[in-house]
Amino acid sequence: MAARLVRRCCWRHLGAFVSAPSAASASLLVPAGKVATARALPQAPVALFHTSSPSSWADGFPVQEQVEESRNPEHKVIGELIEAATTPQELFHLSQLHVLNSNQASLVIIQLSHLAAKKNLETESILRDERFQQLVAITDSQISQVWNNTLVNLLKSLCALGMDGNRSEMQSVEQEVLWRLRRLTFRQLASLAEFLAVRQGKESKLLSEISRKLELRWTELEGTQTVVTLMAKVGHVSPALMDRLEDKALELAEQFSPDDIRKIALALAYQNRRCVPLLRALSYHLVQKHSELRLNVLMDLIFAYGKLNFHQPQVFQKIATDLQPHVPTMTPLEVTRCIRSFALLKWLSLPLFEAIAQYALDNAKQLSVTHLCGIILSFARLNFQPSGSEDFFNMVHEMLQGQLDSLEPHLLTDLVWSLCVLQQAKAPYLQRVLAPDFHARIQGDPSLKAQNLRLKLIHINAAAKLESPGYRGPFLPPEMLSATEPAAEKVTVLQSGLREALAAVLGSRDNGRFDVRTAYGWRI
């Protein structure tokens, strides 16, 4: 009863200074319990914002702005004129006709930024214009009087127009935002963080502070779009914030659309965050609830799973099944990217790979040598032989003829190694990578990349000796074989268990030989 009495008193008090039509409109916009708060705040200029344009980067009107608009018809008219302007000259002319306060000057700058982005205008002329400098001066002189919502968008607009961050006016706006962080809504903070992450990156001091505020106020986080946007754009700035976002995403997993799942998976992949509970939840809902997925969703999902090395057979089967009808219309780059991801996961779908082999045959003229190499490397990683292997490899040999010298040494080595795995390495390929001038480039190089390349050359050398009876040389020199020190490998649980079992069977480790390095590049 007391609450209702206070509410009625507030409405009666509000009616004392708002006209009848304005009060009626305010009753549609302002919750009754918030009117007393609006009345208690100091007067300030109205902060209109064009919500249908790209400049609507933050929340809509705060309550106090709606009340102030209804109180001051002149401010409302100026705001409508600013919003209706279609050229920078109209806005500059408006600023000369009317005496603008700092909030209205900020709105003019925001609209200038919107027009520049919408019409692809040259921003240097706007920044150099004397009238623009006057607007900036007005804003700077009374920066504390600018509404929160307008202030957030003012900072974005000045950045979008390309104003120098070292200018005192720009630093004044940033400092004012920094001081007001505690008063900004969560959505305003999220919107500003997204903008600064794209514009300024991790080095932004303001972005670091905003990320800290978002982390502390993460319980206010609502809505799937905000979660997805923050994970994709801001998560890399603050690992602690990303932890909170992952927890929230796990809570909202059932509500995500396929495109949301795609963006979250990519965010995790690019940040190399293998959050298994979240990935499992997203995988479950993806398989259970979404029957048809678009090509870009399928491509990005398999890429993310491959980069994170996260195995989910049901998802892989669904992606492969859904991808197969798209193969004939895909570009060579899409095909290469798709098959490489499956190869990284070591997951073979025979119908999909047969479709890709047929695609390569049908579109041989559109495939570059690099794309063809990507397909061959993926086939070799999964030891896949197409059903029409004779036609396929005839096409491969024809396309590679005369192209070996144009390939980068590591790609050439991978290509010949893959052809050896697929038992399709001919003498010209072997001769090219086993020639002294080729392997001389990596001798004495201690880098991991060089060691891996040397190991693959030893495998190729072994295939040339043991699986190519017609091949007569050249071969790798003995000193290169004996000097090989394979890169350190982690002993898996299976390997250590096997060695212990063998030692038990033999009675002692002294009765057997373990981890023997052979001249063929393999350890026995």
pLDDT digits (tens, 9 = 90+) for 49-108: 333 343 333 344 444 544 455 556 767 777 788 888 888 888 888 888 888 888 888 998
Instruction: Choose from 35-44, 94-103, 353-362 the range with maximum mean pLDDT.
Output: 353-362
Identify the pLDDT of residue 5: 42
Query: What residues does 517 pair with on adjacent strands?
Result: 523
Whether residue 308 contacts residue 269, with contact meaning beta carbons closer than 8 Å, is answered with: yes
CA distance 379 to 420: 12
Q: Which of the two residues, 92 and 422, has the higher pLDDT score?
A: 422
Identify the pLDDT of residue 416: 95
Whether residue 305 contacts residue 267, with contact meaning beta carbons closer than 8 Å, is answered with: no
**10 Å Cβ neighbour count for 373?**
22
Instruction: Flag whether pLDDT at 203 surpasses 70.
Output: yes
Joined tokens for residue 287:
């398989």
Joined tokens for residue 67:
């009340």
Q: What one-character DSSP code corresponds to residue 387?
A: T
The angle, 0 to 180 degrees and rounded to 10, between the axes of the packed helices 73-84 and 102-118 is 20
CA distance 324 to 327: 5
What is the average pLDDT value for the chain, to the nearest integer? 82
Q: What one-character DSSP code corresponds to residue 491?
A: P
pLDDT tens-digit readout, 239-261: 999 999 999 999 999 999 999 99
Q: Which of the two residues, 200 and 102, has the higher pLDDT score?
A: 102
Identify the pLDDT of residue 201: 75
Contacting residues for 210 by C-beta, under 8 A, at least 6 apart:
181, 189, 192, 193, 196
CA distance 32 to 7: 7
- The angle at the Cα of 146, spanning 75 to 33, to the nearest 5 degrees, equals 80
Instruction: Flag whether pLDDT at 446 surpasses 80.
Output: no
CA distance 87 to 93: 10
Whether residue 271 contacts residue 230, with contact meaning beta carbons closer than 8 Å, is answered with: no
Instruction: Choose from 87-96, 276-285, 464-473 the range with maximum mean pLDDT.
Output: 276-285
3-state secondary structure of 11: helix
Instruction: Flag whether pLDDT at 127 surpasses 50.
Output: yes
Give me the sign of the Cα torsion angle 405, 411, 414, 415: negative
**Identity at 251, one-letter amino acid code:** E
Joined tokens for residue 415:
């290509």
Identify the pLDDT of residue 492: 81
Contacting residues for 181 by C-beta, under 8 A, at least 6 apart:
189, 209, 210, 213
CA distance 126 to 89: 10
Instruction: Choose from 192-196, 376-380, 388-392, 445-449 the range with maximum mean pLDDT.
Output: 376-380
Identify the pLDDT of residue 18: 36
Query: What residues does 523 pair with on adjacent strands?
Result: 517
Question: How large a percentage of the chain has pLDDT more than 70?
Answer: 84
CA distance 344 to 260: 24
Identify the pLDDT of residue 25: 36
> Is residue 323 very low, low, confident or very high in pLDDT (cuts 50, 70, 90)?
very high
DSSP 266-319: HHHHHTT---HHHHHHHHHHHHHH-----HHHHHHHHHHHHHHT---HHHHHHH
State pTM to two decimals: 0.74
> Is residue 14 very low, low, confident or very high in pLDDT (cuts 50, 70, 90)?
very low
Identify the pLDDT of residue 491: 77
Peptide bond into 62 cis (omega under 30): no
Identify the pLDDT of residue 391: 93
Instruction: Flag whether pLDDT at 15 surpasses 50.
Output: no
Across 127-131, 173-177, 476-480, 515-519, least confident range:
515-519
Question: How large a percentage of the chain has pLDDT more than 90?
Answer: 42
Q: Which of the two residues, 154 and 5, has the higher pLDDT score?
A: 154
Joined tokens for residue 22:
């304005």
Question: Among residues 90, 93, 91, 107, which one has the least CA distance to residue 44?
Answer: 107
Instruction: Flag whether pLDDT at 487 surpasses 60.
Output: no
Residue with tokens 């990507």: 374
- In the chain, the N- to C-terminal Cα span, in Å, equals 85
* Average pLDDT rounded to a whole number, residues 492-501: 85
Please list, residue by residue across 189-228, b when 16 or more beta carbons sit within 10 angstroms of its beta carbon and e when fewer do: bbbbbbbbbeeeeeebebbeebbebbbebbeebeebebbb
Contacting residues for 159 by C-beta, under 8 A, at least 6 apart:
195, 196, 199, 200
Whether residue 221 contacts residue 250, with contact meaning beta carbons closer than 8 Å, is answered with: no
Q: Which of the two residues, 435 and 85, has the higher pLDDT score?
A: 435
Question: Among residues 323, 383, 316, which one has the least CA distance to residue 356?
Answer: 323
